[in-house]
């Protein structure tokens, strides 16, 4: 049996812990801090950390890699086009990697960083997307262009609707506040905001999301919608020439929201 738990790190990061409960082995995604993972292993004797999956090079995603590899000998896999500490396997678009008996597909999603990748498991319908796609939002463009990020998000949005979206930050409420400013009359968005407020007040995390839910409520995946285009044009005072232009206007608006 396979299951996924979130190990909180820093103020709002999640390290995703994928577990094979029969074999008592596990993998982690984007361990920015080794301590939560080592604490879990200490509390669950007999378990083996076999794999460390990395989506991009930022410190809050790779900071715990060296210590975890030293402690467990786990294989480290990450993007070929970024400097990943202790990396054993370099991955690029279209590659496949077997983790805990499952084959994950590698998808290039440049934008947040130039070499950012995502891991998609089609049988379990899991997507580990780092800081590319967020619940109701997307990552800042620290290295890439709006064109790159819009293309990346469009690839993720084309995955099956029931795909579970495991991003790595608890940004959902702040993202929903912005989304409601863009589409204040979107009923699915209003309902989602109410649900997430209740979850967070109860101490529950807001993840994973799903591709279906993101298509319905995430403005960055809705650049083709007339309501989103109209909101961006009203905010910027300029016409958007394309869906990429709508995305660029959304990202600039969100950066200063």
- In the chain, which residues have pLDDT < 70? none
Backbone angles phi, psi at 96, to 5 degrees: -125, 145
Which residue out of 57, 112, 116, 150 is catalytically annotated?
A: 112
Please check if 57 is assigned to a binding site: no
Please check if 150 is assigned to a binding site: no
Please check if 20 is assigned to a binding site: no
Which residue out of 56, 57, 116, 150 is catalytically annotated?
A: 56
- Number of other CB atoms surrounding residue 63 within 10 Å: 18
Asked whether the CA dihedral 208, 61, 120, 25 is positive or negative, the reply is negative
Please check if 125 is assigned to a binding site: no
What is the domain partition of the chain in residue ranges? 2-255
Question: What is the predicted pLDDT for the residue at 241?
Answer: 87
For the domain spanning 2-255, the CATH number is 3.60.15.10
> Does residue 58 have an active-site annotation?
yes
> Does residue 255 have an active-site annotation?
no
Q: How far is Cα 16 from Cα 127, in angstroms, rounded to an integer? A: 11
Which residue out of 60, 108, 116, 150 is catalytically annotated?
A: 60
> Does residue 60 have an active-site annotation?
yes
């Amino acid at each position: 049996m396979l299951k996924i738990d979130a190990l909180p790190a820093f103020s709002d990061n999640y390290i995703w812990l994928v577990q094979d409960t029969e074999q008592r082995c596990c993998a982690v995604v984007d361990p920015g801090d080794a301590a939560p993972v080592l604490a879990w292993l200490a509390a669950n004797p007999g378990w083996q950390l076999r794999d460390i999956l990395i989506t991009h090079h930022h410190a809050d995603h790779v900071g715990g890699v060296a210590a975890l590899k030293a402690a467990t000998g786990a294989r480290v896999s990450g993007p070929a086009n970024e400097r990943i500490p202790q990396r054993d396997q370099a991955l690029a678009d279209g590659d496949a990697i077997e983790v805990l008996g499952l084959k994950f597909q590698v998808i290039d999603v440049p934008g947040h960083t130039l070499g950012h990748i995502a891991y998609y498991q089609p049988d379990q319908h899991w997507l580990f997307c780092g800081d590319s796609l967020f619940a109701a939002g997307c990552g800042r463009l620290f290295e890439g262009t709006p064109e790159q990020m819009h293309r990346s998000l469009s690839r993720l949005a084309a995955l099956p609707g029931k795909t579970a979206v495991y991003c790595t930050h608890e940004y959902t409420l702040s993202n929903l506040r912005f989304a409601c400013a863009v589409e204040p009359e979107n009923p699915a968005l209003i309902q989602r905001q109410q649900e997430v407020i209740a979850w967070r007040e109860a101490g529950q995390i807001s993840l994973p999301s799903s591709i279906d839910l993101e298509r319905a409520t995430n403005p960055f995946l809705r650049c083709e919608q007339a309501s989103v285009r109209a909101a961006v044009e009203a905010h910027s005072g300029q016409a958007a020439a394309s869906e990429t232009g709508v995305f660029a206007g959304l990202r600039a608006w969100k950066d200063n929201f």
